[in-house]
Amino acid sequence: MITKSKVLNLLVLIVLVFLGLSCSKKQTSSTTGWEYNNQKTGGFEVSAYREQITGPGLVLIEGGAFTLGQTLENPMFEWDNQPRRITVPSFYMDETEVSNLDYLEYLYWLWRVFGTNHPEVYYKALPDTLVWREKLAYNEPLVDYYLRHPAYHNYPVVGVTWQQANDYCIWRTDRVNEMLLIKQGILEYDPDQRDANNFNTEAYLAGQYQGLVNKPLRDLNPAGTGERQVRLEDGILLPRYRLPTEAEWEYAALGLIGNTAYERVVERRSYPWQGASMREDGKRTSGDFRANFRRGRGDYMGIAGRLNDGADIPAEVKSFVPNDNGLYNMAGNVAEWVLDVYRPMTFQDVADYRPFRGNVFTTPVKDDEGLLAEKDFMGRIQIREVNVEETAKRYNYRQANNISYRDGDPQSLIGFDWSQTPDTSTTKAMYEYGKTSLISDKSRVYKGGSWRDPSYYLSPGSRRFMEEDKSTNYIGFRCAMTRVGSSKVSSKRK
């Protein structure tokens, strides 16, 4: 029987627990003793951030050290990927290649937002469907149907330049962050966004976009209005979607997490799987091909009745068995753009932590009063390259464009009279594009082999390049994202 005294004791216990929880939530500075998140003590806010959430479509790749570079004999006898020990911190990578359906969603949004006043934005993003044409082949059905027909929705998008792939990453970042704010109840859906009045992450953080506000955050600043927008410090918004660096892509493709024992790589992989065989050895999949590639001259899919990879062109993005990182088609199907500028000797020059070639350092544009300039017609913050005055006192870099650092700039040449060449930021002395070389500052690396490549190019260590404004029917892309905070992945997350 429940007595009044028992009920009273229970209520007292609940109150004490509540008070204990309330007290436990109070945070104070370990250096000043002042309480955080309290308007009476000044209102300095500290979010209850735990760790970065995984964005839509992404897989967390635990970083580490590995040997970057060639694992197979190059049939072209090029020496542009000399093995090099480097470290890649943890990051996120798309589980699959970006599909036609993904890209059609992007095109639809561009037309809805910019189609009336700035249709050139939409047309600039269109993939080149004519990449399917061959002088001595009948590929017109692919020209007409591959991008838009529902039968190809889950196939990787092709005919996309490196520049278009980067623009897609910017758009995806903004759509994901906008949805995060909507799910938090901070913003409402706004299907009437047009032209510059659309959600952009940087513009929102800079206060140049408000959106349809549902429930703003409380502003604890005593001098504030009592309400505020989300800040970067709140930890709600995700970092940018972007193309992976060459090192990240190669590391993710190898899937070494399934090939290590006590911090020792059991066997250096030549492909995203163990061993040199192109066929599966599992009970249910024994004998099946592990990837979509050209088996031999004129053999793109095998013989009727027992097709080998079963795909004459790119297969669906979730075809074949994923690698140990859970990523599909890191060998074959379509090759993929990465972020880096191509140089033959990059692996000798780049840093051994988070290596990358292609840095062009920028800063937001300011007006005459030193305030952030108004966003552009697409709703994005205007940026420019940093100038000489801004880098004069720096020791870690001295110019904005570092693409040619140690490979094309004055430090790369011996006995060359740079006083006779006013433009010292270019690579004209070493790489005169179209005359002495096919390499330029716009040559971008692509990785992974494709449906029309022989098996050698399925090795993650192979590397090729193409100009950033060109596209083909065998190059697609997938996105990546930086992981902020600790690179160590807890056993629970694994």
- Residue 269: predicted pLDDT: 85
Tell me: the pLDDT tens digits for 74-128? 777 777 888 899 999 999 999 999 999 999 999 999 999 999 999 999 999 999 9
Give yes or no for a contact between 336 and 68, defined as CB atoms under 8 angstroms apart: no
pLDDT of 406-445, one tens digit each?
887 766 666 656 555 555 555 666 777 888 788 999 999 9
84: Cβ contacts below 8 Å, ≥ 6 apart: 67, 68, 69, 347, 348, 352
Confidence band of 21 (pLDDT split at 50, 70, 90) = very low
413: helix, strand or coil: coil
Query: What are the structural domains, with CATH classification, of the chain?
Result: 58-175+236-358+441-482 (3.90.1580.10)
CA dist., res. 144 & res. 231, Å (int): 45
Higher-confidence residue: 115 or 256? 115
Of 431, 457, 434, the closest CA to residue 445 belongs to: 457
Sign of CA dihedral 169, 173, 174, 178: positive
Q: Name the band, by pLDDT with cuts 50, 70 and 90, for residue 365.
A: very high
CA distances from 33 to 26, 28, 30, 152, 219 (A): 12, 6, 6, 61, 21
Over residues 228-242, mean pLDDT: 95
End-to-end CA distance of the chain: 49
Report the sign of the C-alpha dihedral through residues 346, 349, 352, 357, in that order: negative
Q: What is the pLDDT of residue 22?
A: 47
pLDDT at 212 exceeding the cut of 60: yes
In this prediction the pTM is 0.90
- Mean per-residue pLDDT for 283-306? 82
3-state helix, strand, coil in the chain (%, to 5): 25, 15, 60
What is the pLDDT, as a whole number, of residue 421?
54
| Token pair 């192979």 in the structure block, residue | 462
Q: Which residue has the higher pLDDT, 13 or 467?
A: 467
Give residue 23's pLDDT band: very low, low, confident or very high (50, 70, 90): very low
Mean pLDDT of 193-203: 97
Question: How far is Cα 405 from Cα 340, in angstroms, rounded to an integer?
Answer: 13
